[in-house]
Amino acid sequence: MEKLVADKDYRVASGCAVVGIMNQDGKKIDGSAVISSISVMRERSNGLGGGFAAYGIYPEYAGLYAFHVMYKTEQAKGCAENYLNKEYTIEKTEPIPTRKIMGIDSKPMLWRYFLCPRGGNSNEEDYVARTVMHINSGINDAFVFSSGKNMGIFKGVGFPEDIGHFYRLDEYSAYTWIAHGRFPTNSVGWWGGAHPFGLLDWPVVHNGEISSYGINRSYLLNFGYRCALSTDTEVIAYLFDLLSRKHGLSFEVVAKILAAPFWSDIERMPPEEKDFFTSLRIIYGSALLNGPFSVIVGNSGHMVGLNDRIKLRPLVAATSGETLYLASEEAAIRDICPGPDRVWMPRAGEPVIGKLNDRRASSVVSRT
């Protein structure tokens, strides 16, 4: 009789790898460094997903929204382009440059557009976000996977270092790089489901599982965010956009919403703090991320690392001069920075925040 193998014997529940590099002085480096760093953690991936986000890569189109779109069919491409032509001025359109890599054969059509919204839009960013939601949920076989200014997301099915070489990232220079190697456990491995997940200039990479996905997804729907990419990480990108961009909350406060203190901890706080955290839990309770996670999220001026409130997934931080590093493993940092000035492991629920043009990276200590 064939021996049955228990799920726990072949799943790597703690798999997935994340890396972030931010030169806070704005100095750009090419993609070879982040490719090398993520490749150190190859065993955390299984070839079903890899991806990168890069900032400052389109200076000649810095004022335009750069859409990266994947299409499964020519019909989908035609429908999406008809829609974009009605709503935007398309300054340039072209295939995303790639090179042939062994093992990456079955791929969608990968296209990029540099867009300017047509006049009459009171809030461009909301307008662009609605465009992404419309295409991803309303046009079959078309998916916008990057939509920010002067930045881009590059992702697909494969080991991360192969995806990096496939997209020719060594030919791009950026002041912030974020990378992910995927080991999917509860969702399929497909091009749209690879990390980073992004909206506007918010990309998110994630190691872990979001057991509150259903609640988070329903909550986001109230604000017009529609999840269409079949992976729990998608809600994290939209929550950062909602809480930080639309509600104007600081990263320190966003961290206390997504990785909120337990009620038992809140009860022991001084009165003023207790009132504040009680209010956050009441107002934003449906935004709480349950389950194990470590994430790196970026925007045009920041890079933030955050893990869950009991630290069930690893995250290491380091600094060297004006450069902030984040990774699942210290070895991935030392591969490209052998002698960092400082290395530390952030505490549970403690955000690590890098800021462009600031003279330091700040680590905000959680309350326990």
Does 211 fall in a domain? Answer: yes
User: Does residue 209 register a pLDDT over 70?
Assistant: yes
Span 88-117, mean pLDDT? 94
Span 85-102, mean pLDDT? 95
* pLDDT given at position 120: 65
Q: How confident is the model at residue 11 (pLDDT cuts 50, 70, 90)?
A: very low
Does 309 fall in a domain? Answer: yes
* pLDDT given at position 232: 86
User: Does residue 182 register a pLDDT over 50?
Assistant: yes
Each residue of 235-263: pLDDT tens digit? 999 999 999 999 999 999 999 999 999 99
- The contacts of residue 365 (CB under 8 Å, 6+ apart) are 347, 350
Average per-residue pLDDT for the chain:
91
User: Does residue 4 register a pLDDT over 70?
Assistant: no
Q: Which of 3-7, 131-135, 209-213 has the lowest mean pLDDT?
A: 3-7
Tokens describing residue 239? 């929550």
Q: How confident is the model at residue 347 (pLDDT cuts 50, 70, 90)?
A: very high
* pLDDT given at position 106: 84
Span 195-219, mean pLDDT? 94
Does 138 fall in a domain? Answer: yes
Each residue of 108-128: pLDDT tens digit? 999 999 999 987 667 999 999
Output the CA–CA distances (angstroms, integers) from residue 173 to 23, 56, 57, 170, 332, in the order listed. 12, 7, 6, 8, 20
Residue 197 to residue 200: CA distance in whole angstroms: 10
Q: How confident is the model at residue 14 (pLDDT cuts 50, 70, 90)?
A: low
> How many domains is the chain built from?
1
- For the chain, percent of residues with pLDDT exceeding 70: 92
* pLDDT given at position 15: 77
User: Residue 367 CB: number of other CB atoms within 10 A?
Assistant: 15
* pLDDT given at position 228: 85
Does 351 fall in a domain? Answer: yes
3 state DSSP class of 324 = strand
User: Residue 119 CB: number of other CB atoms within 10 A?
Assistant: 6
User: Does residue 359 register a pLDDT over 50?
Assistant: no
Block residue for tokens 């703090």: 273
User: Does residue 207 register a pLDDT over 50?
Assistant: yes
Does 125 fall in a domain? Answer: yes
- For the chain, percent of residues with pLDDT exceeding 90: 82
Does 242 fall in a domain? Answer: yes
Does 2 fall in a domain? Answer: no
Each residue of 299-318: pLDDT tens digit? 999 999 999 999 999 999 99
Domain span at residue 214? 19-363
Catalytic residue numbers, as ranges: 16
Q: Give yes or no for a contact between 210 and 233, defined as CB atoms under 8 angstroms apart.
A: yes
pTM of the model: 0.92
Residue 74 is part of a domain; what is its CATH number? Answer: 3.60.20.10
The per-type count for the chain, helices as H runs and strands as E runs, is 11, 19
Does 349 fall in a domain? Answer: yes
Q: How confident is the model at residue 7 (pLDDT cuts 50, 70, 90)?
A: very low
